[in-house]
Structure 1
Amino acid sequence: MKLAKRLVLTTTALAAVATGTLLSATTGQAAASQPARSGVDAPAALKVPDGNRLTGVFSAKGVQTYTCTDGAWKLLEPAATLSAKNDRSHRPVALHSRGPVWVSTQDGSAVNATSVANSPRTGTIPELLLKATATRGTGVFAEVSYVQRLDTRGGVAPTTACTGTDQIGVPYSATYAFYKPAN
Structure 2
Amino acid sequence: MAVAAAVIRCRRLNIPRAFVISMMINAIQAAIGRSMDPLLTPPAGNSLHIKASSVDGVQIYTCSGGEWRFLSASASLVDSSNSSIFIGTYAYVYSPKHVSAIGTWSLNNSEGVIAESGHAASEVTGRVIAFRGNKFALPAFLAQASSHLFDGTASLVSYIQQIPSDGGVPPGSSSCRKGSRQVHIPFEADYWFWTQDRQPPSVPSELSAIGLMIEGFFGTGHVKYVFNGTSWQQKNITASMYDVPGGILVGRFFIESHADDAGGSFTWEVFNPNGWTVTAKSASPGVQVDGSSLPWRLFSVTSASFNESFLGPITQVQMISTRGGLPPTPMQAQAVVETWKIMLLQWSFKVCMKISDSECTIT
CA, structure 1 residues 69+123, in 2 after alignment: closer, same or farther (shift >3 Å)? closer
Could you say which residue in structure 2 is the equivalent of 1:5?
A: none
Q: What residue is the counterpart of 1:69 in the other structure?
A: 64
Counterpart CA distance in 2 for 1:110 and 1:75 is 23
Q: In structure 2, what is the Cα distance between the partners aligned to 1:91 and 1:135?
A: 23
Q: Which secondary structure state, in structure 1, belongs to the residue aligned with residue 59 of structure 2?
A: strand
Cα drift, residue 104 of structure 1: 2.1
Supply the distance in 2 between the matched residues of 1:139 and 1:153 (Cα, whole angstroms): 30
Gaps in structure 2 of 5+ consecutive residues = 1-23, 94-102, 110-119, 199-363
Moved more, 164-173 or 128-137: 164-173
Query: Greater CA radius of gyration, 1 or 2?
Result: 2
Q: Which moved more, 1:38-47 or 1:132-141?
A: 38-47
Partners of 1:134 and 1:149 lie apart in 2 by: 18
Note if 1:48 corresponds to 2:42.
yes
1:127 alignment counterpart: 140
Distance 1:65 1:164 in 2: 16
Q: CA deviation at 1:163?
A: 2.6
Code of the residue aligned with 1:177 in structure 2: it is W
Alignment of 1:157-172 (within 5 A): 157-159=170-172, 160-164=175-179, 166-172=181-187
CA distance 1:40–1:64, change in 2 (3 Å): farther
8 Å contact kept, 2:108–2:153: no
8 Å CA contact 1:47, 1:129 repeated in 2: yes
* Deviation of 1:103 (Å): 0.9
Aligned pair partner of 1:177 in 169, 179, 192 = 192
1:138 counterpart = 2:151: yes
3-state SS of paired residue (1:41): helix
Which segment drifts farther, 113-122 or 123-132? 113-122
Distance 1:137 1:150 in 2: 26
Partner letter of residue 140 of structure 1? T
Deviations 1:100-128 (A, max 9, x none): 00112443100101111112279531111
Query: CA RMSD, aligned part only?
Result: 2.4
Q: Is the 8 A contact 1:64 1:169 kept in 2?
A: yes
Q: Distance in 1 between matches of 2:76 and 2:66?
A: 30
| Unpaired runs of at least 5, structure 1 | 1-33
May I ask how many residue pairs the two structures share in their alignment? 149
- TM-score, normalised to structure 1's length? 0.72
Q: Indicate the structure whose relative CO is greater, using CA pairs within 8 Å and at least 6 residues apart.
A: 1
User: Which amino acid letter does the alignment assign opposite residue 156 of structure 2?
Assistant: E
